[in-house]
Amino acid sequence: MKHLSLVTGGAGFIGSNLVERLLNENHKVIVLDNFSTGRKSNLKKNKSLKIINCDISNYDKIKRHFKDVNYVFHLAGLADIVPSIENPEKYFNSNVVGTFNVLRASNHFKIRKFIYAASASCYGFPDQFPTNESSKIEPMYPYALTKWQGEELVMHYNKIFKLPTISLRFFNIYGPKSRTSGTYGAVFGVFLAQKIAKKPLTIVGDGNQTRDFLHVSDLTNLILKTAYSKIKGEIYNVAGGKEIKVNHIAKLIGGKKIFIPKRPGEPDRSLADIRKVKKDFKWAPKTSIEKGVKDLLNQIDYWKSAPVWTPSKITKATKIWFNLLKEDKNA
């Protein structure tokens, strides 16, 4: 008998990669997506796949789709910094109310396991490296805040209602189908679209800032392990466990570079302590950044229709970011 899995945000970058993996694992899959950021073209037709256009902020519309579901993978949400500053209510409705609704429906139908896509942005400017799961929580903008509030709900449903939940704090996930905006995979989508258009790669600051990247194939391997495990009520950092400079990414992609002002509210370093997730699930990242970027370059046509960011467009798009966050002590 096939497992029935439900993936919110299943047409997005991470969601569509997970759906493909679940189908390969012989799951039947229901995707809930309002296509605000996801693309229908990310999902190939499959007799075991059902796609439903709906918004998770409407409980009455989504509840019935959870009947008989075994696993819920909650990836839906809004993940852009500037829009979250401009319209925090929209982010609260999606990332907090939406998460609450998905939890309610999951609990009502007593699903087997609930996996939540949290964000490492909850750490703000970490005061220790590598950053472990007990590090100080200090969200720097509404996106980060609402994702952390969603995580608190997920943990609460485990504690009070005994819903088997796990929260995965994603660091910098990259790979096929990554976006050109937002938190996940943004730098790769931006650089690849610029490379296609023969425009210089826009590097924020001096490019020596580091990020902790993880290929989406390694992520989907881990997500399945968390779903099948008996572990519940735990929070995990999910990353590659290595610091990689943005300049190194630019070098791997190739092309001319242009440097733009450093953005306030963004940390100079990112390095996750992933010992807990490696130990509990006997998991480790396998894809090197060199191989991951090479594979992306072989699929570069995916970003042909993506918007091309130029320094002037970036300045306009991030104006409110600079105005509101420039007074921060770490800016």
Indicate which residues carry an active-site annotation: 143
Burial group, residue 326, by CB count within 10 angstroms (0-12, 13-18, 19+): exposed
Tokens 């952390």 appear where? Answer: 148
Instruction: Tell me the C-alpha distance between 8 and 26, whole Å.
Output: 18
Are 82 and 317 contacting, i.e. CB atoms less than 8 angstroms apart? Answer: yes
Q: Give which of 176, 216, 204, 205 is closest to 192, Cα–Cα.
A: 176
Q: Give which of 202, 159, 161 is closest to 180, Cα–Cα.
A: 202
* Complete DSSP assignment for 101-141: HHHHHHHHTT-SEEEEEEEGGGGSS-SSSSB-TTSPP---S
How does strand 210-211 pair with strand 244-245?
Answer: antiparallel
Q: Give which of 45, 49, 46, 48 is closest to 32, Cα–Cα.
A: 49
In eight-state DSSP terms, residue 6 is E
In eight-state DSSP terms, residue 178 is -
